[in-house]
Amino acid sequence: MHHSLLRLIKWFCRRLTFNELASAVIIFHEILSNSRSDIPLKSDEKPPHYRQFRVDQIPAFTG
């Protein structure tokens, strides 16, 4: 498990009682089974590569 994810889970658990955590697990299960659409997840899509520079075919206007 990624270190930062484990830190997030520890932070989350320190702020909840056992009953609150049990309720959160139910909500997480609903999110994972797609029965809860009011809580969006981060997209898996990678952003476009913005560092693919190219030179314009038309020279710059120097008027």
- Per-residue pLDDT tens digits for 26-38: 999 999 999 998 9
Residue indicated by tokens 């309720």: 23
Q: Which residues of 45-59 are buried (b: 16+ CB within 10 A; e: fewer)?
A: eeeeeeeeeeeeeee
Task: Give me the sign of the Cα torsion angle 10, 15, 18, 21.
Answer: negative
Looking at every residue in the chain, the average pLDDT score rounds to: 88
Distance CA 12, CA 6 (A): 10
Instruction: Give the pair of three-digit tokens for residue 63.
Output: 């008027």
Residue 1 has pLDDT above 70, yes or no: no
